Structure 1
Amino acid sequence: MIRFQTAKKKLATLWFIASGIIFILMILLSFDKLKNDLSDAWGWLFPNILPTLTLILTIFFTDMQQANPQNEKMVDKFYFKLSFYLSLFYLIVLLSTILSAGLGFDIMESMENSNFYLGPIQGIIGASLGLFFFKTQEQSLEE
């Protein structure tokens, strides 16, 4: 078992740092490789990162309002590691799609083609995060 707060912070850190890097990279590419396709490029990015970022923030806000100082939530390490490493894999694939422009590939074509594999991976991640958030257990600090 791992403290839910600790696991949740690690997942949030992964998602927000990786998303920040991807966001900055997209801004830089917007001045050159994407300048003719800005709407399509940003329209591709946001559905790939915002649902998960929104879920993570919602859980943080919900937990802040329901804090019980005498109970600590715990979660099985397996559910945390499953969510963390699937997220890491997804974010690497997402970043690789964007970086393919540096390898001579047409970035918009890479983005369009990536929807075939990013969608299913994102669905699996959503399910693993749901399992991670659902499988928390409260344990009394007095035990």
Structure 2
Amino acid sequence: MKKVGKVIGTFSATKESKSSSPRPKVESLNLIKNFGIENDKFAQKDLDKTVMVLGLNSYERSVENGVSLEFGSLGENIIFDFNPHALLIGTILQIGECQIQIMQKCTMCDHLSIFHKRLPKIVKDCRGLYCKILKNGTIKVDFEVYIKE
């Protein structure tokens, strides 16, 4: 396996979370295959989209374009210190005991304009990647991320 970076933030949308607010920061994520993230309001929906990941570069691009955002605003569950958009669809990531597989790029979402009217265009190429859970486990900040080869 090849180390590509580490986790720098974890977030989960509870049933009480509003889509007009950033996803709340959590201490850890419990990923469950064929279910989703424990206690997340999107669990048991589309299993190919149960985890959304992105890199810190998505927020850096926003700042470069004059839009400062709180982490969690782009709808992510996990922020990495590397750019996962450089990886191919189908890539399997090992994070602690968990394995997730990149399934597709997130589509540009107009609801992001509640944070700033230009935001959907600013992050259109780095909004995030949807992943499927292949192996259960817990993910926390500072966990190392590897590509399974």
TM-score scaled by length of structure 2: 0.27
Q: Write 1 or 2 for the structure with the bigger share of helix.
A: 1
The structure whose Rg is larger is: 1
TM-score scaled by length of structure 1: 0.28
